[in-house]
Every structure is written in C-alpha cells, then in structure tokens.
Amino acid sequence: MTAAIIGGGVAGLTAAYELVRAGERPILIEPGRIGGMIQSISSDGFTLEAGPNVLVERAEMRELLAELGLASAARYPIIKKYGQYVWYNERPVKVPAGIGEFLACPLFSVIAKILLPFKMLIPGVLPGRGDDISVEEFFAPLLGVRAARHLIDPVLKGIYGGNVEDLSARSLFSGLWGAARQRSSVLGYLMGRRGRGKPPIIVLQGGIQSLVDRLWEVVGAHVELVTARAERLTPVDGGRFRVSLSDGRHLEVDGCIITSSGRSAASLCYFLDEELSSALGVARYAGLQVAHLSVAQSEQLIPGAFGVLFPRGMPINLLGCMFNSQIFPHVAPADRHLVTVVLGGAQAVGSLASREVVRGELPELLRQLLGIRAVEWLHFCEWPEAIPQLSVGHHKLVEGLDRLEQEHPGIVIASVDRGGIGVSDRIRLAQDAVKRFRRVRVETVV
C-alpha cells in the first residue's frame, strides 16, 4: 500500500521516520528545502538559528533525540533560573517567578495582588462561557486588565505573534478552558497538574538543523522524494486518492499525511471538503523577521536574562530580543554576545519593514531601549507566513480537519493549523497522525 506525505518540514520528516520504522516506503512530496523553517547557520564562531531558536524538551522530543543519537548534542541553559522580561513603562520588567517578585511587580495593580490568592480558590473566576473568548477576556477577571495586556500579551506575542484580544483562550489554554467550563477553581486545576513541571528548553550543539538533517539521513534512502508541489487531492475508485502535482504528474496513493498548512492545504482539500478548503484559504498567518547581531562582551546585557518581549506599537514592529549566548554561551565566540531580534507578528500584517529599514533603524533602537551599542550585523531573514493565528473560534477549523479525516479514511492532517506551534508540538502531532493513519489502514484491510 502506498502512503504519501505532503511537506518536508520537521513534521513531514517525523511522519516519514515513523512510517519507515514500521517497514513502509512512503512518498515524500516537498518542492522546496528539506527541513522547512528549521535552518542553522555557522558563521565566524556563531551558531545562528533562522527559524526556531530553542526546543522544548518534552517527552516526545527527548525520546526522538535519543533514537536519532542526538541526546548528547543537547545543551541546557547555564543559568537555571534565567529571567524573562517584558517592556512596560519604558523599561524592562521581570516576569515574576515567585511570591516576592509578584508582590513587587508593577504589572499587577495593588488590588490584583490582594485579590489574586482568593480568586485562585473561587470556582468559576475564569469565564469559560460560550464557544470561545479571547485570551484577554479569559484572564482579565483573574489577573486584571493591566496584567492581561502588559504581561500576557507580549509573552504570547513571543510565541504566537498575535494579540491577546484576538487569540483564542480555548485553543491556547485548552486545559484551563476545560476547567473553567466545569467551574473548577484555578488552584484546583493547578493541583491536578502537580508533578508535571515545566519542561526545560534546550538547543543542539551545531544547531537545531542537526535534528532535521539527522532525520533525513535516516529516512532519505527509504522514501521516494518528489520535488514538485502537491496541488490537489482527489478521491478515486477503491478508496484511493490522486495527488495532482505542479509538474503535471499525478500519483495514485492509498493514503496521505498532510503536514502543509494554510492556503497550500486549502488547495489540496478543495475536492475533499470545500467548506474546510475555504476556511483554510482565509486563515491568517503572522510574518516574522529575524535579525542576528554580534555585540561586544563589554556591553552590559540584563544580567541573568534570556531576553525582553515587547508590546504592540513598537518601532519597526519589534517583538523581542533574545540574549542567546547569555544562557547558551557555546553559540558565540568568547569575546562576543549573540543577540537575536524578532520583528513582525500579527501587528505587522502587510507592513513588514524592509531589510534596509530594519538594518538602518535597529541599532539605534537597541541603544535607546536597552543601552546596547557596538552592534555588528550577522544575518537577516524573513518568513512571510510563519505562525498561524489561533484566533477566537479557531476550534471550528480544527473540527473541520477532524471531519475531513472521518469522511475520507486514509487522509490524515498534521499541519500547524492544528495548533502545534513549537518543534516539540510538530513532532507530537506528526507521531499522532501516523498512529491514526496506520489504524485506519489496518481497519480498511480488515
């Protein structure tokens, strides 16, 4: 039986890895670069990440690295309790990591500080009403509007690139949303999660690209690589599917795992589910720009900090600055800091600054905001559609993906539209998709 995988990013490579391990020889359809947005660049002693800068070491990530022989390449922060900062009232403010920091934090009003311990105990404080609400609406009754806008908003911008008044509470905080729908207290929810802990962040010696390179090294000889774009999926007789390619060819397969997203997935699904295709076609994505800068070691960064996240409305759509080498010193020469600046996000839809404007204005902006001088330009890249916007009501799109799988056994979707933003999420979604795919295949044979 023939299986096709559409998309050669980390999700597609993980899906291929799982199928190859099961003894199959899938077709991998990828018209561009194997590895997608995961790109590492070595330059003059620096290790630069054009895509994801860190990995979250969840169980699926840890196990995959071990299987691929990359466990020894994992590098952990040298500062165990590194700080994360947000920009508030023209200065960086530390995100509180304990009761003392919380009481001193200006991001919370005095009333919010007094009431929060009591609100944690009261069932129904978080409003899980209706089908969905925004993150701001969801957290404001618990933390206050100030914290929702000036703490949660920049933090989520650093992950999802979106605004708290637009992002979906149901999609981003599904566990808390479910607890709120059951009128559980926040403390009750947190107690139920005791022992899980927060997974550490890691990078890989030599760059995160070594993960996708190793996956391709393992599977490359066991897949049929098609370097054309998959444009349409059409059902044919016998429960099979025809994949129409951009070079005019057609492939007939028994099933397909789709890891591409947005408009690409919309065109694929047109003849399978026109309603879903329309929804995918208008899904919004945030564009990102990434600038890597070399800074002299003599420059004083915020001690113990990994970076600073910024609210909306900053010049040139500044989202955040990461002090990579401050917690992962191996990514820069001993006499230099590596600073990665991210710009764009949902606030910049259709208005990303040009490379020339960023290069001209960024050094002075960093000097004004953070006192960083002596900046040398290393690398710049742009991702026009980097992050799907999981806006209020996004669960309906996910329900459409589920509906397509139910109505067309053999088609399984592991795209980022399901909400898996980070690399660990993409790996988990791909592994889950392969399990569903193989289960359907077994049921079909039986």
Clarify whether residues 360 and 439 are in a common domain. Answer: no
Of the segments 120-129, 280-289, 317-326, 382-391, which one has the largest average pLDDT value?
Answer: 317-326
In which band, very low, low, confident or very high, does the pLDDT at 441 lie, cut at 50, 70 and 90?
low
Q: Say what the alpha-carbon torsion angle 184, 187, 188, 191 is, to the nearest 10 degrees.
A: 150
Q: Structural domain of residue 121, as residue ranges? A: 108-192
Considering the chain, what percentage of its residues have pLDDT values greater than 70? 97
Clarify whether residues 149 and 297 are in a common domain. Answer: no
Residue 129 lies in a domain: yes
Clarify whether residues 384 and 399 are in a common domain. Answer: no
Q: Based on the structure, what is the number of domains in the chain? A: 3
Residue 94 lies in a domain: no
What confidence tens digit (pLDDT) does each residue in 406-420 have?
A: 999 999 999 988 887
- Supply the pTM of this predicted model: 0.93
Residue 323 lies in a domain: yes
- CATH number of the CATH domain containing 409: 3.50.50.60
What confidence tens digit (pLDDT) does each residue in 43-96 have?
A: 999 999 999 999 999 999 999 999 999 999 999 999 989 999 999 999 999 999
Question: Which residue among 388, 412, 431 closes a domain?
Answer: 388
Residue 366 lies in a domain: yes
Answer yes or no: is pLDDT of 1 > 90: no
Rounded average pLDDT over 125-153: 89
- CATH number of the CATH domain containing 174: 1.10.3110.10
Residue 74 lies in a domain: no
Determine which of 250-254, 331-335, 436-440 has the lowest per-residue pLDDT on average. 436-440
pLDDT (0 to 100) of residue 369: 96
pLDDT (0 to 100) of residue 373: 87
Clarify whether residues 355 and 216 are in a common domain. Answer: no
Clarify whether residues 275 and 297 are in a common domain. Answer: no
Residue 63 lies in a domain: no
Clarify whether residues 401 and 279 are in a common domain. Answer: yes
Clarify whether residues 164 and 300 are in a common domain. Answer: no
Rounded average pLDDT over 8-26: 96
Question: Which residue among 192, 217, 245 closes a domain?
Answer: 192
Amino acid at 312: R
In which band, very low, low, confident or very high, does the pLDDT at 446 lie, cut at 50, 70 and 90?
very low
- What's the rounded Cα separation, in Å, for the pair 71 and 55? 13
Question: Which residue among 388, 403, 423 closes a domain?
Answer: 388
Clarify whether residues 215 and 346 are in a common domain. Answer: no
- CATH number of the CATH domain containing 354: 3.90.660.20
Residue 372 lies in a domain: yes
Residue 264 lies in a domain: yes
Clarify whether residues 240 and 323 are in a common domain. Answer: no
Clarify whether residues 217 and 173 are in a common domain. Answer: no
Clarify whether residues 273 and 311 are in a common domain. Answer: no
Answer yes or no: is pLDDT of 290 > 60: yes
Rounded average pLDDT over 312-329: 94
Clarify whether residues 121 and 166 are in a common domain. Answer: yes
Q: Which residues of 414-427 are buried (b: 16+ CB within 10 A; e: fewer)?
A: bbbbbbbbbbbbbb
Q: Are 289 and 253 in contact (CB under 8 A)?
A: no
